[in-house]
Amino acid sequence: MPAFDHIRLTTSRLLLRPLYAVDAPFVLALFTDVGFMEFGTTAPFASIDEADALVERDRKAMVVGERIRLGIERVADGALIGICTLFDMDAQSRKAEIGYGLLTQARGQGYMHEALLALLEYGFSELGLNRVQAEIDPDNIDSARSLQRLGFGKEGQLRENGVVNGVVTDSVSYGLLRRDWKLTA
Binding site for ligand COA (CB under 6 A): 35-36, 39, 99-102, 107-113, 136, 140, 142-143, 145-146
DSSP secondary structure letter of residue 26: H
**DSSP label at residue 150:** T
CB within 8 Å of 105: residues ≥ 6 apart: 81
| Cα 46 to Cα 28, 52, 96, 128, distances in angstroms | 8, 12, 30, 38
The 153-164 sheet, strands edge to edge: 9-10, 14-18, 68-74, 79-90, 95-102, 131-136, 167-177, 153-164
Residue with smaller CB distance to ligand COA, 102 or 129? 102
Between 62 and 171, whose beta carbon lies closer to ligand COA?
171
DSSP characters for 107-137?
Answer: TTSSHHHHHHHHHHHIIIIIS--SEEEEEE-
Alpha-carbon distance of 166 to 84, in angstroms, equals 24
* Nearest distance from C-beta of residue 61 to ligand COA, angstroms: 17
Query: Residue 139 Cβ, how far from ligand COA at the closest point, in Å?
Result: 10
CB of 41 to ligand COA, least distance (A): 10
Q: Which is nearer to ligand COA, 2 or 165 (CB)?
A: 165
Of the two residues 59 and 149, which places its CB atom closer to ligand COA in the complex? 149
CB of 111 to ligand COA, least distance (A): 4
Residue 74 or 107: the one with the smaller Cβ distance to ligand COA is: 107
Closest residue to ligand COA using C-beta atoms: 110
Residue 102 C-beta: closest distance to ligand COA, Å: 4
